[in-house]
Amino acid sequence: MPTEEFSHDVTVPAPAARIFAHLADPESYIGLSPLLVAVRDVVTAEDEVRYVAVERFRVLGPLRWDNPIRVTMTFPEPGRRIVSDVRSPGRVRLTATVELAPDGAGTRVSETVSVTYPKLLRRLVIGQATNVQRHRLAELARRMTVS
């Protein structure tokens, strides 16, 4: 199966500790990721958090499709790095690595996404993943500015 990787970054006007705490909480991703409408079955261990996230896709008019995805977040460098391993139906697998670094009065948030998918789903998967990544980083910057 093909794999693609892409990165995006943004400077957020907040300390890394605050951003890390926000991103380490699965509930924070509701609305942070535009398709995510629910988080359930959260299990927290010493160095990881596992949960099911529900993505909602509009199909036609009022019709929708809820896609449950399994997420495992690990913290290889607490306060600096979060790795999310996402397994979605349809044999789609995504790994998102977020790195935080001081940048002036704020924090540079860099996210690298690696996604593996069946060839027939390329356009949908890559389009959604890149759109979600850009939205998530912009929304994170907005949240950290407002609160």
Domain residue ranges of the chain, discontinuous segments joined by +: 3-146
What pLDDT is attached to residue 73?
A: 97
Determine the Cα angle at 75 with ends 121 and 124, to 5°.
10
pLDDT in tens, 32-87: 988 899 999 999 998 899 999 998 887 777 888 888 999 999 999 889 999 999 99
Whether the CB-CB separation of 123 and 3 falls below 8 Å is answered with no
Kindly state the helix (H) or strand (E) to which residue 21 belongs, with its residue range: helix 16-23
Determine the CATH number of domain 3-146: 3.30.530.20
Q: How confident is the model at residue 26 (pLDDT cuts 50, 70, 90)?
A: very high
Q: How confident is the model at residue 147 (pLDDT cuts 50, 70, 90)?
A: low
**Sequence-ordered list of residues with C-beta below 8 angstroms from that of 53, at least 6 positions apart, any chain:** 26, 29, 33, 36, 38, 39, 68, 69, 71, 86
Distance CA 22, CA 100 (A): 12
pLDDT in tens, 75-112: 998 899 999 999 988 899 999 999 999 998 899 999 99
Whether the CB-CB separation of 79 and 16 falls below 8 Å is answered with yes
Q: How confident is the model at residue 10 (pLDDT cuts 50, 70, 90)?
A: very high
